Amino acid sequence: MLIPGISSPLYEKRKGVYPKAVDGFFRRFKWAIMAVTLAIYWITPWIRWDRGPYAPDQAVLIDLANRRFYMFDIEIWPHEFYYVAGLLIMAGIGLFLVTSAVGRAWCGYACPQTVWTDLFQHIERFIDGDRNAQIRLANAPWGPAKLARRLTKWSVWLLIAFMTGGAWIFYFADAPTLQHQFWTGVAAPVAYFTVALLTATTFLLGGFLREQVCIYMCPWPRIQAAMLDEKSLTVTYKHWRGEKRGSLKKAEAQPGEFGDCIDCNQCVAVCPTGIDIREGSQVGCITCALCIDACDKVMEQVGRPRGLIDYCTEEDAEAEQKGAAPRPVLRTLLRPRTIAYFMAWSAVGVAMLFALGARTRVDISAQQDRNPIFVRLSDGTIRNAYTVKIRNMEARPRPMEISVDGLPGAQLWTDATAREQAGRTLSTTVPADSVARLRVFVAMPGEGDTRQDFHFAVRALDKEGGDNREPARFERPE
Amino acid sequence: MADDNKPKIDAATGTEIKHHEWDGIQELDTPLPRWWLWSLYATIVFAIGYTIAYPAWPLIDDATQGVLGWSSRGALEKELAAREAQVAPIRKAIAQTPIQDLPAHPQLMQAAIEGGRSAFRVHCVQCHGSGAAGSKGYPNLNDDDWLWGGDLMAIEKTITDGVRNPDHDDTRQSLMPAFGKDQLLQAAQVDDVVAYVRTISHQDRANAASQRGAAIFADNCAICHGPDGKGSRELGAPDLTDAIWLFGGDTGSIHDTVWNSRHGVMPRWDDKLDKTTIRMLAIYVHSLGGGEATPAVAQAQAGQ
């Protein structure tokens, strides 16, 4: 597709990426992280956690239907959603922290797109063979052998994608129950839809779109590009050491003319996003460090020091070019910027922990009837009505007592009792982990101020106790 | 300008540079991935399919209807029908349970209160007000004073048959004579009986006029309002000793009532609403705060 006067095409066919298998420190590190992250993802919903008879026993559960979020000993109600906001803020600042300390480590190691792509590529190598075999197969015409390999590979991918999508729903309902429902066909339609959708996206993103997600879809590489500074760790090709590139033969023929890079292209061959790191830092580099492993191996074979491609900051790169000795990489971790991020990150965390520890488990709210505000009863007293809600956030039913504070002579009763049973206090048992709604009538003598401020008070009557107050107002006709 | 047509290539990336510049910042003309183009085509195909399947293209006085036959009105009707089907069993249970037994079923009561609340807003607020607090001549349904009885059965009966419906035999009926206008009492006698009513409702201290009025009251009023003025629900005669006055408790208003009488009318609803709605209305009114226990239930509780 060419427009006259413009030389390059508007659209570009995707270049195939067939990363070569590699072994080394970072590859092993990536295996470990993949194992840990996948294990967390698949195992978490199956952890049981005893919360007594009135609450679910799943350790991590996002119970959307009942509007509760459980995480081990923490239970979050919808009105406490700011904890979730706090977690998101921590995740955001955490990414800033990680980026300023170790660069795009999230992209290279922990991002689900990276982990699943890595897993899918490993399967690809298992079925199709390594890089060269894959390229041969990709260029081969379609025939029974190619079709068989493709179908095998896609089936395995689909299976993993299905397990990925399937695991997601277990975070939102009791996992063993939902699994049974899922296989017997009685789970909610949204469960099947979610599994189908996530299976499709996992299959597509992990199997086919891969580095295209990082380069064209994900906003994070752009944000990170803006966050990196001269003190951030990036995977760096030390061109001052490597250039001018030349094969071993050439180097032997003309000693002193060539640098350490023997132009073996191994760094390009192993790259999961198909870039050439020797062109410098770029948006396609997710800093997975596999090229470091590949290069180190080659340097070892040709008897040159490792680290021609290595983690390095821009600042150190400049210093090294001027002849300074390489500085320890971890030094970059401690500097004002990372410390500031860490302080902000931990401040949010500590504030949330404090709020979590201090939050009340008994709460009361009272809303006065506005229409009519007051009712004159036949004996001349004035009655106001309130919708009182008592919140019991413990996972057991609790006896509670409601009283009024600052309204002497008030009679209290509810829509469930007659006025003859009115008293100074009301007693009720609030069911476990729920809100009790009471319509409370308050009667006072007909003569008095047109407005009287008072408090509704609630007190738990069991031995753990706990109380709370809510301001309210009693009104009379003028 | 001839140079503008020659592509400029960025050395670092090998990509063409666009021919515009902002303060030295230039833009690379990086080609889009081709799958992106295919997804654009896919959305176009989807959009064509969508406009065929669903109402889309505006015509002169209409629009294309779409082959699926979907419409927002149709969707609403479907949802309403689904809702009707959902509440049908509850309505049926409310209709079939005797009203005095309903308080034993909290869920039915709750449903009836909510159903009654919405029916009240359509049919009753014109007179009784949106908060059922009434106004002069229109009773406040929140209080504990009932002309015709405040238990569920009595309220249901009042709503069903209305009050003083001229063409309905079962309607609630009471007729206070216009003592002044029809010259049943002389003007001074009316003044005296008003003074008496003011004292039995504890608004005035006893005085000479009220003492004269007591005898007139006993002769003319006690037959309906009772010897102590506490009224009678059988006859729809209001309690004159309490704090609640439908037409006002000041001397002028009471005088007006005795002189001209009052004949408030409430329509019957059995010819306008179905029995279940009337029952839900009764339960809602009963729930407003003044509802009384049904006599049979009250007796059973007293016996326990």
pLDDT digits over A139-162, tens only? 999 999 999 999 999 999 999 999
Query: In Å, how far is A28's CA from the nearest CA of chain B?
Result: 32
Residue A2 has pLDDT above 60, yes or no: no
Query: Do B200 and B229 contact (CB within 8 A), yes or no?
Result: yes
Domain of B246: which CATH number? 1.10.760.10
Please count the residue pairs, one from chain A and one from chain B, whose beta carbons lie less than 8 angstroms apart. 83
A446 to chain B: which residues are within 8 Å by CB?
Answer: 243
Through-space distance between the first and last CA atoms of chain B, rounded to whole angstroms: 107
Chain B interface test: which of A3, A10, A11 (most B C-beta within 10 Å): A11
Query: In Å, how far is B23's CA from the nearest CA of chain A?
Result: 19
Has residue B80 been placed in a domain? no
Has residue B202 been placed in a domain? yes
pLDDT digits 0-9 by tens, A310-364: 998 888 899 989 888 777 777 777 888 999 999 999 999 999 999 988 888 899 9
Residue B231, phi then psi, degrees to nearest 5: 80, 180
Q: Which of A8, A280, A379 has the CB atom closest to B31's CB atom?
A: A8
pTM (two decimals)? 0.80
Query: In Å, how far is A232's CA from the nearest CA of chain B?
Result: 22
Query: Do A286 and A104 contact (CB within 8 A), yes or no?
Result: yes
Residue appearing with tokens 């073996």: A264
Q: Which of B29, B35, B243 has the CB atom closest to A378's CB atom?
A: B243
Token reading at A324:
């300074």
CA A418 to centroid of chain Cα atoms: 53
Q: If you count them, how many residues does chain A have?
A: 478
CA-wise closest residue to A212 among B167, B156, B231, B34: B34
CA–CA separation, B234 vs A362, rounded Å?
49
Has residue B218 been placed in a domain? yes
Has residue B290 been placed in a domain? no
How many folded domains does chain B comprise? 2
Residue ranges of alpha helices (H) inside A130-188 are 131-139, 144-169, 175-184
B129 to chain A: which residues are within 8 Å by CB?
Answer: 372
Quick one: pLDDT at residue B187?
95
CA–CA separation, A353 vs A83, rounded Å?
9
Which residues on chain B place their C-beta less than 8 Å from a C-beta of chain A?
A: 5, 7, 12, 15-16, 29, 31-37, 129-133, 140, 142-145, 239, 242-244, 287, 289-290, 293
Q: Give the burial class of B86: count Cβ atoms within 10 A of its Cβ; 0-12 exposed, 13-18 middle, 19 or more buried.
A: exposed
CA distances from B197 to A122, A220, B145, B184, B191 (A): 99, 84, 17, 18, 10
A6 to chain B: which residues are within 8 Å by CB?
Answer: 7, 16, 29
Instruction: Tell me which H or E stretch contains A405.
Output: strand A398-405
Residue A452 has pLDDT above 50, yes or no: yes
Query: Do B35 and A14 contact (CB within 8 A), yes or no?
Result: yes
Contact B144 A380 (CB under 8 A): no
Fold of A362-475: Immunoglobulin-like (2.60.40)
Q: Which of A371, A378, A383 has the CB atom closest to B131's CB atom?
A: A371
Residue A247, phi then psi, degrees to nearest 5: -65, 165
A216 to chain B: which residues are within 8 Å by CB?
Answer: 33, 36
Quick one: pLDDT at residue A60?
96
CA-wise closest residue to B142 among B120, B163, B160: B120
Instruction: Tell me which H or E stretch contains A26.
Output: helix A25-43
CA–CA separation, B108 vs A282, rounded Å?
67
Contact B16 A7 (CB under 8 A): yes
A2 to chain B: which residues are within 8 Å by CB?
Answer: none
ipTM entry: 0.82
CA-wise closest residue to A238 among A292, A163, A193: A292
Quick one: pLDDT at residue A256?
82
Has residue B152 been placed in a domain? no
CA–CA separation, B10 vs B41, rounded Å?
31
CA–CA separation, A431 vs A437, rounded Å?
11
For residue A22, the SS3 value is coil
Closest chain B residue to the Cα of A9, Cα to Cα: B31
A184–chain B Cβ distance below 8 A for any pair: no
Chain A interface test: which of B10, B244, B284 (most A C-beta within 10 Å): B244
Quick one: pLDDT at residue B303?
53
Closest chain B residue to the Cα of A414, Cα to Cα: B289
Q: Where are the domains of chain A?
A: 25-218, 226-337, 362-475
CA–CA separation, B13 vs A26, rounded Å?
28
AA letter at A313: T
Query: Do B154 and B279 contact (CB within 8 A), yes or no?
Result: no
Residue appearing with tokens 């500031």: A340
Residue A287 has pLDDT above 60, yes or no: yes
Chain A interface test: which of B35, B37, B245 (most A C-beta within 10 Å): B35
Query: In Å, how far is A157's CA from the nearest CA of chain B?
Result: 21
C-alpha count within 13 angstroms, C-beta hemisphere, residue B80: 6
Token reading at A469:
């107050």
Quick one: pLDDT at residue B297?
62
Has residue B181 been placed in a domain? yes
B142 to chain A: which residues are within 8 Å by CB?
Answer: 372, 375, 383
Residue numbers in chain B where pLDDT is lower than 70: 1-5, 296-304
Has residue B265 been placed in a domain? no
Query: In Å, how far is B111's CA from the nearest CA of chain A?
Result: 15
CA-wise closest residue to B283 among B114, B113, B140: B113
A3–chain B Cβ distance below 8 A for any pair: no
Cβ neighbors of A322 (< 8 A, separation 6 or more) are: none
Helix axis angle, B72-96 to B275-287, nearest 10°: 70
For residue B151, the SS3 value is strand
Domain extent at residue B199: 176-260
Closest chain A residue to the Cα of B203, Cα to Cα: A380
DSSP notation for A269-338: HT-TT---GGG-S-TT-----HHHHHHHHHHHHTT--S-SEEEEEHHHHHHHHTTPPPPPGGGGGSSHHH
Query: Do A163 and A155 contact (CB within 8 A), yes or no?
Result: no
AA letter at A40: I
Cβ neighbors of A5 (< 8 A, separation 6 or more) are: B5
Name the percent of chain A lying above pLDDT 90. Answer: 72
Quick one: pLDDT at residue B19?
80
Cβ neighbors of A436 (< 8 A, separation 6 or more) are: A389, A390, A392, A400, A428, A430
CA–CA separation, A101 vs A90, rounded Å?
16
Has residue B111 been placed in a domain? no
Contact A378 B29 (CB under 8 A): no
CA–CA separation, B125 vs B157, rounded Å?
19
CA A169 to centroid of chain Cα atoms: 15
CA-wise closest residue to A284 among A292, A276, A294: A276
Closest chain A residue to the Cα of B140, Cα to Cα: A375
AA letter at A190: V
pLDDT digits 0-9 by tens, A251-267: 888 888 899 999 999 99
CA–CA separation, A458 vs A452, rounded Å?
19
Query: In Å, how far is B144's CA from the nearest CA of chain A?
Result: 6
Contact B31 A415 (CB under 8 A): no
Query: Do B222 and B216 contact (CB within 8 A), yes or no?
Result: no
